[in-house]
A and B are shown apart, each in its own frame.
Chain A
Amino acid sequence: NAGVTQTPKFRILKIGQSMTLQCAQDMNHNYMYWYRQDPGMGLKLIYYSVGAGITDKGEVPNGYNVSRSTTEDFPLRLELAAPSQTSVYFCASSYSQYEQFFGPGTRLTVL
């Protein structure tokens, strides 16, 4: 099993550009999550999904969008990137209410 995979590992965006962060898991987990981690801080939940076709907002959803068309994939879309979105983004998955497994992260810089 590859577990949770994320692409790209690093990305630099200009202000106003858009991009999609990819996340996939091969553990057949029904729950998936997107977090951001700012320097020296804990993780904050952006969006989550409890199954294909079902998504909901977390603590910090503004400026982001998600979709969940399959169990395996949970892409995160940034529209009109802003410097405040410079962060490390982690995707995670879990089987229902059990422990979450995290991907390796995507380091995003918006200049």
Chain B
Amino acid sequence: ELKVEQNPLFLSMQEGKNYTIYCNYSTTSDRLYWYRQDPGKSLESLFVLLSNGAVKQEGRLMASLDTKARLSTLHITAAVHDLSATYFCAVSPSVGGATNKLIFGTGTLLAVQP
């Protein structure tokens, strides 16, 4: 059974600082997604990582995937208050991948303080 773990679960950081959120998963997968969720809102797609070594960047966020280590990271550079949200990683198992079922992590609540 595929399990997806994120850490930390809660992250309070100051504006201007850098930090990394980690996403570990337990079985083989070659597709990993990062989503953002604002309070009371739906999920917004941030990144789709499809291969080992994939790296994607958008603004102050950069995501990477290491399929051999079963690890993805979401790096935040020079945080600003607007980045405050909950961030989820989600993994699609390689077995039965044709269905595109996703297993979500529990999320990381990011609070950026001025």
Residues of A bordering B, CB below 8 Å? 31, 33, 35, 40-45, 48, 50, 56, 58-59, 90, 94, 96-105
B69 is an interface residue with CB less than 8 A from chain A: no
> What's the count of A-B pairs with C-beta under 8 Å?
61
Classify the secondary structure of B's interface with A. strand
- Select one of B4, B48, B106 contacting A98, CB under 8 A: B48
A selection of 18 A-B contacts at a CB cut-off of 8 Å is: A31-B100, A33-B101, A42-B88, A42-B90, A42-B107, A43-B90, A45-B102, A45-B103, A50-B98, A50-B99, A58-B101, A97-B31, A97-B97, A99-B45, A100-B45, A100-B102, A102-B35, A104-B42
With both chains docked as a complex, state the minimum distance between the C-beta of A44 and any C-beta of chain B, in angstroms. Answer: 7
Number of B positions contacting A (CB below 8 A): 24
Chain B neighbourhood of A101, CB < 8 A: 45
B33 within 8 Å of A by Cβ?
yes
CB distance from B54 to the nearest CB of A (A): 14
Which residues of A have CB within 8 Å of B33? 99-100
A42 in complex: contacting residue of B48, B100, B105, CB < 8 Å: B105
Tell me which residues from 75 to 114 in chain B have a Cβ below 8 Å from any Cβ of chain A: 88, 90, 92, 97-107
Q: In the complex, are the beta carbons of B107 and A48 less than 8 A apart?
A: no
> Given known contacts A43-B102, A45-B101, A94-B100, what 4 new A-B pairs fall within 8 Å (CB)?
A40-B106, A41-B106, A58-B101, A104-B41
B8, chain A: closest CB distance, angstroms = 14
